[in-house]
Amino acid sequence: MQTHLKRISIFAPIIMLIALRLTFGPSSAHSAEAAAGKLIVVSLSQGQLYAYQGGKQIFSTKVVTGRPDLTTPIGTFHVFRKLSNVTFYSPWRKDSPYWYAPSHVNHALEFLRRGYYLHDSWWRTAYGPGTNGWHDDPVYGWEWGTHGCVAMPDSAASWLYKWTPIGTMVQIKK
């Protein structure tokens, strides 16, 4: 029995290291390292997204955020999934006022489970302050803000997608 316990005590740390390596292996370490010094800040009141690297602002774009009854969450988050060429499907039934038709997006960065993304929105041309409410888009007419996501022009979403590794911090402020 004592020999058996000795073997277990010898192998337990090795098994633990293997488990940790599989859980937090090179891809996680690489992502954390790549994300270090990068920060995305969304100002809901300004309708603006800012990208910082090493404490310096290197990019900004106007955005559309969540409408009054489906607000964009405030807080600190991290990008945990990147999707490209994806179709979003409404979680609401067709008879809901929140339902939307399947929507293709080119670039999406998920920052909060339950489907909160930073993404492009080809179906919009108006961005910035006030676009989270009922507003007139000069091309597509009257529309609401998002269902809680942070939407931006495709060129901005493309840049952000390429620049942002998994693990990048996202701060959403009033």
Same domain? For 89 and 23 the reply is: no
Task: Label residue 171 exposed, middle or buried (CB < 10 Å: 0-12, 13-18, 19+).
Answer: middle
- What band does 130 get if pLDDT is binned at 50, 70 and 90? very high
pLDDT of residue 2: 53
- What band does 29 get if pLDDT is binned at 50, 70 and 90? low
Asked if pLDDT for residue 41 goes beyond 60, the answer is: yes
Question: What is the distance between the alpha carbons of residues 10 and 144, in angstroms, rounded to a whole number?
Answer: 62
pLDDT of residue 35: 86
Asked if pLDDT for residue 22 goes beyond 50, the answer is: no
pLDDT of residue 30: 57
Residue reference for tokens 């992502």? 31
Q: What percent of the chain has pLDDT over 70?
A: 82
The answer, as to whether pTM is greater than 0.75, is yes
Same domain? For 2 and 80 the reply is: no
pLDDT of residue 98: 97
What's the mean per-residue pLDDT of the chain? 88
Residue 20: give the domain boundaries. Answer: 1-35
Same domain? For 48 and 30 the reply is: no
pLDDT of residue 33: 74
Question: What is the distance between the alpha carbons of residues 37 and 166, in angstroms, rounded to a whole number?
Answer: 13
Contact status, residue 76 vs residue 62, Cβ threshold 8 Å: no
Same domain? For 122 and 57 the reply is: yes
Same domain? For 111 and 160 the reply is: yes
pLDDT of residue 8: 40
